[in-house]
Amino acid sequence: SSELTQDPAVSVALGQTVRITCQGDSLRSYYASWYQQKPGQAPVLVIYGKNNRPSGIPDRFSGSSSGNTASLTITGAQAEDEADYYCNSRDSSGNHGVVFGGGTKLTVL
């Protein structure tokens, strides 16, 4: 089982704001990173660190963190944002491993 917990599915109306969350003990100490994955494609990094976007990622994507919860917010969701979203962070067990959340399927209505 994953040490990072995500809701399996979230939906949002076109143009509205949606928050996707990721919970885990490691997030009290380490930032999460977030990945978007569309069917048949490799994951794409969308948020890393405190709230950083790679070049080419729209500014409607933002990240935040509080306690053991990291959040990815999409402000003004577009149809092309429909995808699976995964968080990842450092393994909380003390080794130097990496762990992914189970993923959230975002549907844009």
Partner 1 sequence: QVQLQESGPGLVKPSGTLSLTCAVSGGSISSSNWWSWVRQPPGKGLEWIGEIYHSGSTNYNPSLKSRVTISVDKSKNQFSLKLSSVTAADTAVYYCARKIVVALSSTTFYYYMDVWGKGTTVTVSS
* Residue ranges binding partner 1 (CB under 8 A): 2, 29-31, 33, 35, 37, 42-45, 48-49, 54, 84, 86, 88-90, 93, 95-103
Kindly state the smallest distance separating residue 66's Cβ from partner 1, in Å.
16
For partner 1, give the closer residue by CB, 42 or 79. 42
What length is written for the chain? 109
Kindly state the smallest distance separating residue 101's Cβ from partner 1, in Å.
8
Pairing of strands 44-47, 18-23: unpaired
Q: What is the C-alpha separation between 32 and 4, in angstroms, rounded?
A: 10
Kindly state the smallest distance separating residue 11's Cβ from partner 1, in Å.
19
**Which tokens in the block code for residue 97?**
């491993």
**Which tokens in the block code for residue 63?**
């990240």
